[in-house]
Structures are given as structure tokens and as C-alpha cells.
């Protein structure tokens, strides 16, 4: 045993050099940086079914499987709009869900993003406006990104979520122009304070 310890002391610890980061990890790191620039924290999503047929919900659920691994890139679903940064809304807004959707939107803290999912969420789809439906999500709350499709694929959903983040990300400052402490994000209509 002593012989082995002397040999280790003479030769030192030899190991392979660390490999370069995988391309997927670089993409994930850039995405997480964009999320932090936009929101100042990890992205949390609250799904709201405003009257859909559940076709979009099946595709949204696929985002959490190991293939798409939404949580692996730092995005997760939450149960309360008070903990959410983004509302992922499906279906045409039924008249019974209009008040609940508006209250959910109001309960979501700023800055908040809204993504309308599916043809029904974008325009009312085959239901349109009728005695029981108000049409698309934009007829009740403001929408940042619309993802068409009946239902949209998980890939299209992921692209729409990422589009909402990148569309609202502040521009990247040059390294020398960056302040030592990152500013906190405020609502655009908040008053300026000294």
C-alpha cells in the first residue's frame, strides 16, 4: 500500500482533460440566459383550459416527457397563476370560462407572457364566436404569441414558448456596458422612483 502511495506522489494525478461542452448544453445555457434576462428568474408556466377539446393538452403533456424534457431546460409548470410567468391558454374561450380566464390573467404577476395554443386559442377555430363561445383568447386577454395547429405539435409548442421569451428579452449589452448588478425588471407602466 505504501508503495502505491509513493508512486502516486511521484507521478501526480493524471486524468483526461475535460471535454468541450456538448452543443445541446450550449443551447440550453443560452436559453436559460435569455429566460433570466427576460424574467430575472426561471420560467414557470400556468396552463389554462378555456374550453378546449383536450387535443392541445395531450401535446402540452408531451413536453414533459423525456424526449422534449421541458424541465431539463429550466421551464416548469406550476399550479397557481400567482407563481407563473407565462399563461399557456388552450381552446376557444367559452362564456363560462371568460371570467375565470380574466381573473387568472390578473392574478399572474408582471412581467407576464400569454401564449394562445391551437387554432381554437388563436381564432376560435371551428367553434368561432357563437352562443357559447367568445372566440380566440385575444378577445378576453392580450396575447403575446399565437401557436396555430389543430393540435400543434410539441415542437411547435416549444418554439412558441421560446419565441415568447426571445421576443420580450431585453437586448444583450456588450460585456463592458453591463452594470455590475443586473437591474430588476419592472412593469412598463410602473412609475419611476429615484
Write out the three cell numbers for 88: 399557456
CA distance 153 to 56: 8
Asked if 160 and 147 count as a contact pair (C-beta separation under 8 A), the reply is yes
Q: Could you give phi then psi for residue 77, rounded to 5 degrees?
A: -95, 145
| Residues near 167 by beta carbon (within 8 Å), at least 6 away in sequence | 144, 145
Q: For the chain, how far is it from start to end, CA to CA, in angstroms?
A: 68
Residue pLDDT, tens place only, 57-87: 999 998 888 887 888 777 889 998 898 989 9
**Which range is least confidently modeled, 10-14, 117-121, 161-165?**
10-14
Catalogue the long-range contacts made by 167-175 (C-beta closer than 8 Å, 24 or more residues apart): 168/38, 168/111, 168/113, 168/144, 169/34, 169/37, 169/38, 170/37, 170/38, 172/37
Percent of the chain with pLDDT over 90: 19
- What's the pTM? 0.69
Confidence of residue 184 (pLDDT cuts 50, 70, 90): very low
Residue pointed to by grid coordinates 364566436: 129
CB neighbours of residue 138 within 10 Å:
17
pLDDT of residue 135: 85
Residue pLDDT, tens place only, 122-144: 888 878 788 888 888 999 999 99
Amino acid at each position: 500500500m505504501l508503495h502505491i502511495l509513493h508512486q502516486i506522489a511521484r507521478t501526480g494525478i493524471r486524468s483526461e482533460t475535460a471535454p468541450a461542452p456538448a452543443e445541446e448544453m450550449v443551447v440550453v445555457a443560452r436559453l436559460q440566459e435569455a429566460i433570466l434576462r427576460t424574467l430575472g428568474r426561471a420560467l414557470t408556466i400556468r396552463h389554462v383550459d378555456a374550453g378546449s377539446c383536450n387535443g392541445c393538452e395531450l401535446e402540452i403533456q408531451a413536453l414533459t416527457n423525456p424526449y422534449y424534457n421541458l424541465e431539463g431546460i429550466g421551464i416548469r409548470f406550476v399550479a397557481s397563476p400567482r407563481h407563473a410567468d407565462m399563461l399557456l391558454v388552450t381552446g376557444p374561450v367559452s362564456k363560462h370560462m371568460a371570467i375565470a380566464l380574466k381573473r387568472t390573467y390578473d392574478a399572474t404577476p408582471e412581467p407576464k407572457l400569454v401564449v394562445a395554443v391551437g387554432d381554437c386559442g388563436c381564432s376560435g377555430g371551428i367553434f368561432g364566436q357563437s352562443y357559447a363561445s367568445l372566440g380566440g383568447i385575444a378577445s378576453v386577454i392580450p396575447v403575446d404569441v399565437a401557436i396555430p395547429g389543430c393540435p400543434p405539435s410539441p415542437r411547435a409548442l416549444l418554439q412558441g414558448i421560446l419565441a415568447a421569451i426571445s421576443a420580450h428579452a431585453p437586448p444583450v449589452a456588450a460585456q463592458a456596458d453591463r452594470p455590475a448588478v443586473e437591474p430588476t425588471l419592472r412593469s412598463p407602466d410602473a412609475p419611476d422612483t429615484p
